[in-house]
């Protein structure tokens, strides 16, 4: 507890709840989730399939709206902002790796990684994107379109894209899920290097034991609730 008083949380939630209606039924996907992540920490979110991990990550990023509850990101109560302001905040401080990658199909690997840099008007977008794609082992795939890349290659492009703007906070959904163990280890190393070098806070949803063990803390979800 005293630890939490001296460290600065970059992310915290209060009673975060998400319900959806499916036909005549009300389904509670997340219930009363209270969590805190301090700046510079690496936290794993673990739990069975369907326990609410991706839903939680989407809410933490302000990509989805809760039914009730709060998310504070970098001292901002994000659901008091409109969608455009949340998008601006995201582009400034957040990197996000989706479980389904979400690369833009009409852009090459290089262009996909350059895009967030161009949106923040960085001058050396191409050089930065090339360097990141090299770090994820894709220097030979710069001009491939997503459909010309394997699942693991697309995932690595998505990781390079998430790191492009040097975010304070990286939220990644199964970042090693589609990778063989050697490539997975490389990606884990890359994420923890950035954590060390830049103080990037990592919040990683994962089934990967090795990845979860590398994190300083594990947050477990079961049926949409945190398990202590
Ligand atoms: N829009 C929605 N409408 C109805 N049900 C939903 C919706 N989104 C998610 N769910 C349900 O909520 C539960 C949690 O989904 P979520 O994708 O967060 O799980 P997860 O922990 O990420 O699972 P996995 O490990 O398989 O990726 C699942 O049972 C899912 O079917
Ligand atoms: Mg998921």
Per-residue pLDDT reduced to its tens digit, 5-36 = 457 799 999 999 999 998 889 999 999 999 99
Which residue's alpha carbon is at the smallest distance from atom 5 of ligand 1? 20
User: Is residue 2 over pLDDT 50?
Assistant: no
175: closest CA among 226, 214, 121? 214
User: Is residue 4 over pLDDT 50?
Assistant: no
Question: What is the value of pTM for the model shown?
Answer: 0.92
Atom of ligand 1 nearest to the CA of 221: 21
For the record, the structure tokens of 115 come out as 């895009």
Cα(218)–Cα(228) distance, integer angstroms? 10
Cα(46)–Cα(213) distance, integer angstroms? 11
Atom of ligand 1 nearest to the CA of 174: 27
Given pLDDT bands bounded at 50, 70 and 90, which one contains residue 100? confident
Helix, strand, or coil (residue 186): helix
To test the pocket of ligand 1, the residue of 22, 33, 53 to mutate (highest count of ligand atoms within 8 Å of its CB) is: 53
Helix, strand, or coil (residue 223): coil
129: closest CA among 91, 156, 98? 156
For the record, the structure tokens of 101 come out as 């990658």
């Amino acid at each position: 507890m005293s630890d939490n008083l001296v460290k600065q949380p970059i992310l915290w939630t209060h009673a975060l709840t998400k319900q959806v209606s499916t036909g005549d039924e009300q389904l509670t996907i997340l219930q009363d989730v209270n969590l805190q992540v301090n700046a510079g920490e690496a936290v794993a979110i673990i739990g069975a399939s369907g326990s609410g991990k991706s839903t939680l990550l989407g809410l933490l990023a302000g990509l989805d709206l809760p039914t009730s509850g709060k998310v504070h990101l970098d001292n901002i109560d994000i659901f008091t902002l409109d969608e455009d302001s949340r998008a601006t905040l995201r582009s400034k401080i957040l990197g996000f790796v989706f479980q389904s990658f979400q690369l833009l199909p009409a852009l090459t690997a290089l262009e996909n990684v350059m895009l967030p840099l161009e949106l923040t008007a960085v001058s050396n977008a191409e050089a930065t994107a090339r360097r990141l794609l090299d770090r994820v082992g894709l220097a030979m795939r710069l001009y491939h379109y997503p459909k010309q890349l394997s699942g693991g290659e697309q995932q690595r492009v998505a990781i390079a894209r998430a790191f492009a703007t040097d975010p304070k906070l990286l939220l990644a959904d199964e970042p090693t899920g589609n990778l063989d163990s050697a490539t997975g280890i490389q990606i884990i190393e890359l994420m923890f290097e950035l954590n060390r070098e830049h103080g990037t806070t990592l919040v990683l949803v994962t089934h990967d034991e090795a990845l979860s063990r590398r994190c300083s803390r594990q947050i477990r979800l079961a049926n949409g609730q945190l398990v202590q």
